[in-house]
Amino acid sequence: MSAAAENSVSTRVDWTRVRRDFPILDRQVHGKPLVYLDSANTSQKPRRVIDAVDAFYREHNANVARAVHQLGEEATGLYEGARDKLAAFLGANHRDEIVLTSGTTMATNLVAYSYLLPRLKSGDAVLVTTMEHHANIVPWQLVCKLTGARLKVAPITESGELIVDKFIEALTPDVKLAGVVHVSNVLGTINPVQALARECRKRGIPLLVDGSQAAPHLPLDVKAIGCDFYCVTGHKMCGPTGTGALWARRELLESMPPFFGGGEMIRTVSFDGSTFADPPRRFEAGTPNTAGFAGLGAAIDYLRGIGMDNIAARERELLDYAVPRMRAVPGLRIIGTAPDKAAVISFLIDGVHSHDLATLLDQEGVAVRSGHHCAHPLMQFYGVPATCRASLAFWNTEAEIDAFVAAIARVRKLLE
Known catalytic residues are 374
Residue nearer to ligand PLP on the CB measure, 300 or 407 = 300
Residue nearer to ligand PLP on the CB measure, 135 or 388 = 135
| First-to-final CA distance of the chain | 46
Residue nearer to ligand PLP on the CB measure, 15 or 259 = 259
Cα–Cα distance, 188 to 236 (Å, whole number): 14
Cα–Cα distance, 26 to 73 (Å, whole number): 37
43 binds ligand PLP (CB under 6 A): no
181 binds ligand PLP (CB under 6 A): yes
Provide CB contacts within 8 A for 180, sequence distance 6+.
Answer: 128, 129, 132, 136, 162, 167, 191, 193, 196, 207, 208, 209, 210
233 binds ligand PLP (CB under 6 A): yes
64 binds ligand PLP (CB under 6 A): no
For ligand PLP, which residue has the nearest CB?
A: 103
* Site pattern 77..106 for ligand PLP (x: CB under 6 A): --------------------------xxx-
- Binding residues for ligand PLP restricted to 200-219, rule: CB under 6 A: 210, 212-213
CB of 181 to ligand PLP, least distance (A): 5
239, 240, 244, 295: residue in contact with ligand PLP (rule CB under 6 A):
244
CB of 267 to ligand PLP, least distance (A): 29
C-alpha dihedral (232, 291, 256, 258), degrees to nearest 10: 140
* Site pattern 359..398 for ligand PLP (x: CB under 6 A): ---------------x------------------------
Nearest CA to 108 among 198, 213, 179?
179
45, 83, 133, 281: residue in contact with ligand PLP (rule CB under 6 A):
133
Q: Name all contacts of 305-312 with Cβ < 8 Å and 24+ positions apart.
A: 306/13, 306/18, 306/394, 307/13, 308/217, 308/218, 308/219, 308/220, 309/219, 310/9, 310/12, 310/13, 310/394, 311/216, 311/217, 311/394, 312/217, 312/218, 312/219
135 binds ligand PLP (CB under 6 A): yes
C-alpha angle 126-254-246 in degrees, rounded to nearest 5: 60
CB of 33 to ligand PLP, least distance (A): 26
- Preceding peptide of 280 cis, ω within 30°: yes
Query: How many residues touch ligand PLP (CB under 6 A)?
Result: 13
Residue nearer to ligand PLP on the CB measure, 76 or 102 = 102
Residues 396 and 216: beta-carbon distance below 8 Å: no
CB of 22 to ligand PLP, least distance (A): 20
341 binds ligand PLP (CB under 6 A): no
228 binds ligand PLP (CB under 6 A): no
346 binds ligand PLP (CB under 6 A): no
CB of 114 to ligand PLP, least distance (A): 17
Helices (H), 150-192: 164-169
Cα–Cα distance, 416 to 69 (Å, whole number): 66
The residues of the shown chain that bind ligand PLP, judged by CB under 6 A, are: 103-105, 133, 135, 181, 185, 210, 212-213, 233, 244, 374
